[in-house]
Chains A and B, each alone.
Chain A
């Protein structure tokens, strides 16, 4: 396959550059790509954001309606996160039921929102045990140039932060969806013995291991996910965490804006 030949050439090139502290696109090892966020991009959604992280392009829409709570959590709203890796975004994505990559991505983003209580689900109850707000987060990858984890996470947080609870649906008034925390994820990739942040597609392809760390506004760690078959040393993990926290502070300002 012609793709693989290019990848082999690229692999050597990337590894060689990283050894001398450089990257293919001229970034420093700890430098993330340019992040732009356009909130309220979609009129038909209650909240939305289009996020570009370099050339990686993700559109997140939040749809909100009413429904019944799960029997085991009668005093809690319902949150569902789906990811569509549509074939438009990459020659390697295919239509059909979600593949493991999409499911992992959706679950990591979902946990990031749920476990950090970014949105307090207990505030989303209309009538306890009967009627609650149902949030659908749909993550649509449009152009895949690496690091979907972070792009999806910034998009989700941005879309939630500008979402409207359609109170009119239940005879009340529309109000802002309350967002209580701002967990920001930063992903690192290990290439041989070097670590780069916000890997683009080719770096992701040659990486041995990947680590995503989400930190909140207090600098606390809120979520982590390691991927790929390589490993990190403890020192490396600590290094990734402290760098993720530092980079996360800058990114949080962009997401909040």
Chain B
């Protein structure tokens, strides 16, 4: 009896009142926590929790681009490496890049190339590293959102932060920010990355099945959510710079930290 109930609950992704399995409304995000400046060696870094996703992002650069033949005499390269830790998923992932992470790395690099003032740093490379420590669907959006804070923490000049968020379709209804369960049993997933100040979309992917109306609604959900996440990003940076100002005040001259 219990088993049957469990099964029914599992396939009923949205109940009669529009609540989802974890109690969220259709346009509700999972809880998000962002912290900037969490790594010592990196020029900029950020840690982000998004539901059960845990992601670290680090930025190095602008530094000499390697391999050298990739150097662009008129602008900086923005290079991203998205990587999942072997223990971040339920079946151990073999270490190293696979086709999926290569693709995500590429579209992420392209998204950030759109906002970084690359012409200020010819021949260099801005290297972004995204490590997924624990995955629960939506890791690319979590990674991009974190990487954007890490870029700002590194002091890389940008037109704006980038915010990423996904919407999709579950049980025939458009819903914001699918979790693992919803992603597995859902009908569509559509991650996008947005420049909040201009509303430009710098990353857009979609798989599954959406009507035009559904796509409009999904985009509205993601855009609205992006503005809320944008505030969290700025808040993380403000907290980071408050701490940094204190540290600098305290630092005694002559002591090398």
Q: Which of A133-188 contact B (CB under 8 A)?
A: 136, 138, 140, 142-145
B87-A62 in contact (CB<8A): yes
Q: Which residue of B lies closest to A90 (CB)?
A: B41
Partner of A87 from B56, B87, B95, B127 at Cβ < 8 Å? B127
Given A13-B256, A82-B95, A87-B127: A44 and B40 interface contact (C-beta under 8 Å): no
Residues from chain A with Cβ under 8 Å of B60 in the complex: 87, 91
Partner-binding segment picked from A53-61, A189-197, A227-235: A53-61
Main secondary structure of the interface of B (DSSP, over half): loop
Residues from chain B with Cβ under 8 Å of A24 in the complex: 256
Q: How far is the CA of A97 from the CA of B95 in the complex (A)?
A: 10
Asked whether any CB of chain B lies closer than 8 Å to the CB of A86, the reply is: yes
Residues from chain A with Cβ under 8 Å of B134 in the complex: 42-44
**Shortest distance between the CB of B92 and any CB in chain A (Å):** 4
**Shortest distance between the CB of A143 and any CB in chain B (Å):** 4
Partner-binding segment picked from B27-35, B78-86, B220-228: B78-86
Residues from chain B with Cβ under 8 Å of A55 in the complex: 40-41
Q: How far is the CA of A44 from the CA of B133 in the complex (A)?
A: 9
Residues from chain B with Cβ under 8 Å of A88 in the complex: 39, 42, 45, 56, 58, 129, 131
Q: Which residue of B lies closest to A10 (CB)?
A: B256
Asked whether any CB of chain B lies closer than 8 Å to the CB of A76, the reply is: no
Residues from chain A with Cβ under 8 Å of B40 in the complex: 55, 143, 145
Asked whether any CB of chain B lies closer than 8 Å to the CB of A32, the reply is: no
Q: Which residue of A lies closest to B66 (CB)?
A: A94
Asked whether any CB of chain A lies closer than 8 Å to the CB of B52, the reply is: yes
Asked whether any CB of chain A lies closer than 8 Å to the CB of B205, the reply is: no
Q: Which residue of B lies closest to A55 (CB)?
A: B40
A63-B129 in contact (CB<8A): no
Q: Which residue of A lies closest to B128 (CB)?
A: A88
Q: Which of B132-168 contact A (CB under 8 A)?
A: 133-135
Given A63-B87, A82-B86, A87-B129: A57 and B39 interface contact (C-beta under 8 Å): yes
Residues from chain B with Cβ under 8 Å of A84 in the complex: 85, 95
Residues from chain B with Cβ under 8 Å of A145 in the complex: 40-41
Residues from chain A with Cβ under 8 Å of B96 in the complex: 97
Partner of A44 from B56, B58, B81, B89 at Cβ < 8 Å? B89
A42-B92 in contact (CB<8A): no
Asked whether any CB of chain A lies closer than 8 Å to the CB of B72, the reply is: no
**Shortest distance between the CB of A58 and any CB in chain B (Å):** 12
Asked whether any CB of chain A lies closer than 8 Å to the CB of B90, the reply is: yes
Residues from chain A with Cβ under 8 Å of B133 in the complex: 41-42, 59, 140
Asked whether any CB of chain B lies closer than 8 Å to the CB of A48, the reply is: yes
Residues from chain A with Cβ under 8 Å of B90 in the complex: 44
Residues from chain B with Cβ under 8 Å of A118 in the complex: none
Q: Which residue of A lies closest to B81 (CB)?
A: A95
Given A43-B52, A57-B39, A138-B86: A63 and B256 interface contact (C-beta under 8 Å): no
A45-B41 in contact (CB<8A): no
Given A59-B133, A91-B63: A44 and B41 interface contact (C-beta under 8 Å): no
Residues from chain A with Cβ under 8 Å of B131 in the complex: 86, 88, 140, 142
Excluding A88-B58, A88-B129, A89-B39, 20 further A-B contacts by CB distance (< 8 Å) are A13-B256, A41-B133, A42-B85, A42-B87, A44-B87, A44-B88, A61-B86, A62-B87, A84-B95, A86-B83, A87-B127, A91-B41, A91-B63, A95-B83, A97-B96, A136-B92, A138-B85, A138-B95, A143-B41, A143-B42
Binding site for A on B (CB under 8 A): 39-42, 45, 52, 54, 56, 58, 60, 63, 81, 83, 85-92, 95-97, 127, 129, 131, 133-135, 256-257
Binding site for B on A (CB under 8 A): 10, 13, 24-25, 41-45, 48, 55, 57, 59, 61-63, 65, 82, 84, 86-91, 95, 97, 136, 138, 140, 142-145
7 nearest CB pairs, A to B: A61-B87, A45-B87, A88-B129, A63-B92, A55-B40, A88-B58, A138-B86
Q: List 30 A-B contacts (CB under 8 A).
A: A10-B256, A41-B133, A42-B54, A42-B87, A44-B88, A48-B87, A59-B85, A61-B85, A62-B87, A65-B91, A65-B92, A82-B86, A87-B60, A87-B127, A88-B39, A88-B56, A88-B58, A88-B129, A91-B41, A91-B63, A95-B97, A136-B86, A136-B87, A138-B85, A138-B87, A140-B133, A143-B40, A143-B41, A144-B41, A145-B41
